[in-house]
Structure 1
């Protein structure tokens, strides 16, 4: 890429950031996400992982918050704060991975359906409609039940069942891009399918894909928490959904141990809200019509 092209892209990125910075809700979401991601990434450095081992727990069962255990303990005497920090790693990993998988599938199918049209579009869109009318959570539960338990299974279950909406959005945007005059000129000059898609169509739909990815992460995290709460996740991994399941199964609710339920619940709600705020802010930046409103 030439230097002028890089300069134009840097200038466009600068304008986008300045526009994003004017959105207070988006900035709050970005700060919250950055903080949570840093805490999750630095968890092995700022905490002792051995505290997750139930055989090495030193606290009392369902001990309330204190100076030693800031968020109390679970049914095994482990620190709830430690579990929440390490649970963020699994929940965010599954949410981001599943979202990337679903967005990748939806983007490929949406672009191919809009670009080639005809029988290709008919087959791909009927396939998309089939998955769209089926409850994604039910399909994810079915896949998680059939396949071997583990984080990879949860990622596949969520990613393979949540792509249809992305496919329809990308298809609509691709049709809009391909109706522009420069696409016709590119074809007239001998541009093939790969050239048109890679050089013109994909850059035109990437902003929508990026915004949709940001908004879809929250949904994927909620889906992961739901599957883990139902006992379909990795039993050896600590996640926010698994914490809620353990709290419910061990009688924390009836025992009044609110400190075991509130932290993972607030963490899920906070992350989903932060991703939503960032996604809406990005949507207003990348969509001129929303910015004018």
Structure 2
């Protein structure tokens, strides 16, 4: 073959390594979805979560944002459910249904954003402490342990009080206080992967630390990260509800936690205004339960031993 001839391509009917990798990923996704569909509780959780996500995204179409302003409240104080206000009104005359729909945006936004921060911090610190050796790994591991033994709620309360009540404060507080568990999980998985034969061959062939982490270790720990993410979102939403209930949420935005805080402040329980307490509490329970069920289903997909049981 002369120098000007083109390099021979793959034989007809044969896939290139890149095409083969893409096909294997597609097959893995299809197998995972097939297992997920057979998991009834996980599928039910996905349906419930999808309903809340649609409500949050379609909030401008489903509820008028002006009705959330106290000066433009269309109803009376603590009106019970009726044909006009399906879930009644709060102590300012605002429709509970509109608050629930718009509150879903804040609660889901806080839960997802804080989880991203927690997952990034936990994954990076876990990878570093598991892969590195010597004093850097020891320092990262001890730092994670020290952070893990700190009381979570008091630490979150102190940070929220110092930084001031706002939506960004809640997100940061939840994100920076919920990463240690993920870091320890990723660290243990990294220590296991680091001892496998394929990583030793990579080192012998001259792969540097960065390439070993990015091309070999990270893809093997990412399924664990995804499974842990769904459970962390549930914890983040509960934490946002708790902080907002304690008066540390953003007072200018409506969330399910601030609704519960307002209901507690006016004594809705003793006043018999059940419609002010049960709907936001039920929404929190359903969303947290749906994320938990999805997480359990994903864990079963990633661990074949659970499917065998």
With the shorter chain as reference, the TM-score category is: over 0.9
Q: Deviations over 1:200-248 (max 9, x none)?
A: 1000000000000011101000000000000111100100010000011
- How far the C-alpha of 1:10 sits from its partner, in A, is 0.2
Distance in 2 between the 1:290 and 1:203 partners? Answer: 21
Contact map agreement 2:247 2:258 (CA 8 A) in 1: yes
- Conserved in 1, the CA contact under 8 Å of 2:164 and 2:248? no
User: 2 CA distance for matches of 1:219 and 1:58?
Assistant: 35
Q: Which of 273, 283, 290 lines up with 1:267 in the alignment? A: 283
The CA RMSD measured in Å over matched residues stands at: 0.9
**How far off is 1:172 after superposition?**
0.6
Structure 1, unmatched stretches of 5+, are none
Matched, 1:5 2:33: no
Partner residue of 1:140? 156
2:131·2:191 contact (CA, 8 Å) conserved in 1? yes
Matched, 1:45 2:61: yes
Shift of 1:45: 1.9
**How far apart are the structure 2 equivalents of 1:201 and 1:111?**
8
Counterpart Cα distance in 2 of 1:49 and 1:91:
16
Structure 2: segments with no counterpart, 5+ residues: 1-16
Which residue does 2:124 correspond to in 1? 108
Q: CA deviation at 1:291?
A: 1.7
Is 1:54 the counterpart of 2:70? The answer is: yes
Greater C-alpha Rg: 2
Aligned position for 2:9: none
Give CA-to-partner distance per residue, 1:179-219, whole Å, 9 cap, x none.
11100001110101110000010000000000000111010
In the aligned structure 2, how far is the partner of 1:149 from the partner of 1:272?
Answer: 23
**Pick aligned residue for 2:35 from 1, 13, 19:** 19
Deviation at residue 97 of structure 1 after TM alignment: 0.7
Which has the higher relative contact order, 1 or 2, with Cα contacts under 8 A spaced 6 or more apart? 1
State the distance in 1 between where 2:63 and 2:104 align: 13
Matches within 5 A, 1:64-75: 64-75=80-91
TM-score by length of 1: 0.98
For 2:164 and 2:258, the matched residues in 1 are separated by 17
Separation of aligned partners in 1, 2:168 and 2:200: 43
Whether contact under 8 Å (2:241, 2:258) holds in the other structure is yes
From 268, 288, 291, the counterpart of 1:252: 268
Aligned residues: 293
Please identify runs of 4+ aligned residues in structure 1 that moved more than 6 A: none
Q: Does 1:290 align with 2:309?
A: no
**Deviations 1:142-177 (CA, angstroms, capped at 9, x unpaired):** 000000321111011111111110000000111111
1:86 is aligned to 102
The 5-angstrom pairing of residues 104-253 of structure 1 reads: 104-253=120-269
Q: Give the Cα–Cα distance (whole angstroms) in 1 for the partners of residues 154 and 71 of structure 2.
A: 36
Q: Deviations over 1:60-116 (max 9, x none)?
A: 110000000000000011100000111110011001111111111010000001111
SS of structure 1 residue aligned to 2:268: coil
Q: How far apart in 2 are the matches of 1:255 and 1:85?
A: 24
Q: Distance in 2 between the 1:269 and 1:179 partners?
A: 41
Q: Name the SS for the 2:177 alignment partner.
A: coil
CA distance in structure 1 between the aligned counterparts of 2:149 and 2:43, rounded to whole angstroms: 35
Report the Cα distance in structure 2 between the residues aligned to 1:243 and 1:217, rounded to whole angstroms: 20
Q: Which residue of 1 aligns with 2:14?
A: none
Specify the alignment match of 2:93 in structure 1. 77
